[in-house]
Structure 1
């Protein structure tokens, strides 16, 4: 009987919600280790060291198995034979599926950027300008790698925290959202020309 795998989206959700602690721990730990390594060394050095570590393990294992086979006079063959014979090619359907999805997202992003930079809606463009202004301060405090590390930690911690304390978080987010809507409405009422176009 063939075992069906979960769709990749469900696997990602399981990973982020720590459904399988061992698997999530490995992915989170390896990702965090890689990012922290990049803060100390260049990406070329990190990739080289990782490749050397992997090669050291595989070469040692191959030599060990060869010695064991020679001592026991067994004929097991290459220890990685199953992996060497497995198909590792990427199918055309896979490439087309994800390239089409990526193309759709890129086109959507381009339309949104045109909307914002050519000031189709003044309110949206001003919100975007405020966001970019805030990001200048964020960029002055953190470099891109630090932001990636913080994002990785957030991605693996926020879903679990939200799942455990959903009622309280929703309550406070609702209060903050209402306050922001009130402030935006007051600003739009006081400044002429800032009223959003009727949908």
Structure 2
């Protein structure tokens, strides 16, 4: 028992010495805290903890990677790029490129209007084959005279891969399928008279086309359409204000006529009912 009492007294002395070594002022200051100070400290600690949790959540949300759809983004980018190239072609941004395309397509259409499609395709293929054969023979003769290595003149083009990938075929087949389905649904909407006004518009258009077809054939209309496609954008760009003014007047007149027709049609429906 005496040993236990002596050990406890020694422990108490050690604790007192440790308390004396610590900063006494800091602990004496804690005694001056009242209840309001303690509540403020507790509230501040709670706010700090909640703010820390909110920051962790925001960091986790920022680190989350949202899965993208590369297929749709690539298709959208390709379509946008193709459309921009088409507009550059029609607006003659590159004169040499546009002149080549316009001249080649116009010559093809004029040839088709004069000759049959079989003759036109045969003449084009024969001309291309004649050029390649003559160039191949010419390069062979020049290489033999110069005693140089005989390299095929079209080696670079022969080594290129011209096979179409399966993804390209599937993508364009899906787009074609969507266009076909949309066309079929629109034809069903028009010919089965789902909307009487739309069907009447189609009837007027077909009636006008009967008179156009009696004067022009399909190839003539294609030639006129191509000439208009390569000339109207430039003409509109130069005289945009005047064209917009007169087109607005014509559009307003047509809308008034359509409204009158719709009013008469609805009046006939109400009388029939």
Same fold? TM cut 0.5:
yes
- TM-score w.r.t. the length of structure 2 is 0.67
Is 1:123–1:194's contact at 8 Å kept on the other side of the alignment?
no
Distance 1:76 1:12, change over 3 A: farther
* 1:125 counterpart residue number: 199
Give the Cα–Cα distance (whole angstroms) in 2 for the partners of residues 181 and 7 of structure 1: 35
TM-score for both structures, normalised by structure 1: 0.91
Please tell me whether the aligned partners of residues 35 and 145 of structure 1 are also in contact (alpha carbons under 8 angstroms).
yes
Question: Structure 1 unaligned runs (5+)?
Answer: none
1:172 aligns to 2:246 (yes or no): yes
Q: 1:182 aligns with which of 251, 256, 273?
A: 256
Which among 170, 173, 179 is matched to residue 105 of structure 1? 179
Q: Distance in 2 between matches of 1:70 and 1:140?
A: 61
Is the CA contact 1:122–1:194 (under 8 Å) kept in the aligned structure 2?
no
Q: Higher RCO, 1 or 2 (CA under 8 Å, sep at least 6)?
A: 1
- Shifted more, 90-99 versus 121-130: the winner is 90-99
Q: Which has the higher helix share?
A: 2
Query: What are the residue-to-residue correspondences of 1:63-142 with 2, within 5 Å?
Result: 63-142=137-216
| Equivalent residue pairs, number | 191
1:9 Cα deviation (Å)?
Answer: 1.9
Larger Rg: 2
Structure 1 runs (4+) greater than 6 angstroms displaced:
none
Assess if the C-alpha contact under 8 Å between 1:62 and 1:79 holds in 2.
yes
1:7 Cα deviation from its structure 2 partner: 2.2
Aligned to 2:127: 53
Deviation at 1:193, TM superposition (A): 4.3
Cα distance in 1 for partners of 2:175, 2:151 equals 43
